[in-house]
Homo-oligomer: A and B are copies of this chain.
Amino acid sequence: MSRMSQSLELTERAQHLLKVLIERYIDEGQPVGSRALAREAGLNLSPATVRNVMADLEEMGLVTSPHTSAGRVPTVKGYRLFIDSLLTIEPLDQDLVQRLWEDLEELEDPQELLETASQLLARITRMAGVVTLPQRRQIAFQHIEFLPLSGGRVLVILVTDDQEVHNRIIRPATPLTPGQLQQAANYLNAHLSGRRLTEIRAALVQEFKDAGRELQSLLEMAQSLISADALEEDCLVAGQTNLMSFAELSDWSRLRELFEIFEEKRNLIHLLDQCIEAEGVQIFIGEESGYQPLEQCSLVTRAYAVGDRVLGVLGVIGPTRMHYERVIPLVDVTARLLSTALNQKIASPS
């Protein structure tokens, strides 16, 4: 009985049929029936045989049928198996890689680099591209500047070693003269350069003990740094409208929920942060992400880095029914190219 195979391993044939079924479903977006699958599989099997295999696959939870008389549709578990062991990755077109590189290389500004990366991902995949901004905790202090404003307020400009400029307006409890500000900036620049923002908070507490009468102003500086550090993480999303083309997302309320996570980015950022530690390409299929609005979507991500410091992740969000064999290498390469580009731009500041 073919039922024997259900318990542990899939036969080679069952695997092949699953693969063909999923490929076909990804292409067509409609449940695959036994007749079509038999024809497509190239194994000279009759639909009846295929039906038996499909029943097995269903019992193993790899496919389901939306209703009695429809074909089969892959489940999350089915996609998982497909991606982990059945997928034949399509090597990326070298022309495309070249073009990607040219688009990224010419940009000097890291911010623009990230924006462009997300846009490229969106444009090429015709889905949504996401890039998280570099995590603050990975980033080191490079330079600080205090600019006096009216009303005793001070504009704090903080340059970090990823060449990003952060700014914040603070209102010190006691007014400070331009001279004092300059002095404080000099001091901080001399002592903190190259240290990570997370270390600095601790370091500043240490300084207080030795600083004596300048404690007052230094306190303000510390505050400003901490608040600059406290800037919550952010991410860039491009091409979200592309997702409106997909029939499986055409459920009105579902789509709305999906778009809301792009607008209220907190959840999205939290999800992407989980991907930052994975090596290589990380994939969340449907409910695996744990977010209900992403039930019908998959997320393909990869971290980007400068040197050995992982800064953030980039990726693609689209329907579970996406062409993984093309998206995975694309995300992979884009993350590498972005890392390389950032390395070139940032590298060792003088």
Contact = CB atoms under 8 A, between A and B. Distances in A.
Interface in A224-261: 238-241, 244-245, 250, 252, 255-256, 259-260
A244 B255 contact: yes
Contacts of A167: 109, 165
A350 B234 CA distance: 33
B159 A163 contact: no
A108 B153 contact: yes
A49 to B, nearest CB: 41
A219 interface: no
Contact of A256 (B109, B244, B349): B244
Contacts of A259: 240-241, 244
Contacts of A147: 143, 159
Contact of A149 (B149, B155, B240, B350): B350
Interface in A127-175: 143, 145, 147-151, 153, 155, 157, 159, 163, 165, 167-171
Given A150-B348, A241-B256, A109 B163 contact: no
Number of copies: 2
Contacts of A252: 244, 250
Chain A interface bracket (under 10, 10 to 19, 20 to 34, 35 or more): 35 or more
Nearest to A253: B244
Given A165-B155, A345-B169, A263 B244 contact: no
Contacts of A241: 256, 259-260, 263
A89 interface: no
A113 to B, nearest CB: 11
Contacts of A238: 263
A97 interface: no
A241 B237 CA distance: 15
A43 interface: no
Q: Is the interface of A mostly helix, strand, loop or mixed?
A: mixed
A250 B252 CA distance: 9
A45 interface: no
A92 interface: no
A151 B108 contact: no
Contacts of A347: 150-151
Interface string A179-199: 000000000000000000000
Nearest to A347: B150
15 contacts: A108-B170, A109-B167, A148-B349, A148-B350, A149-B163, A149-B349, A151-B347, A155-B159, A155-B163, A157-B157, A165-B167, A169-B345, A240-B263, A241-B259, A250-B252
Interface of A: 108-109, 143, 145, 147-151, 153, 155, 157, 159, 163, 165, 167-171, 238-241, 244-245, 250, 252, 255-256, 259-260, 263, 345, 347-350
Given A109-B167, A241-B259, A245-B256, 13 more contacts: A108-B153, A108-B169, A143-B147, A148-B349, A150-B347, A151-B347, A155-B163, A155-B165, A165-B165, A165-B167, A169-B345, A240-B263, A241-B260
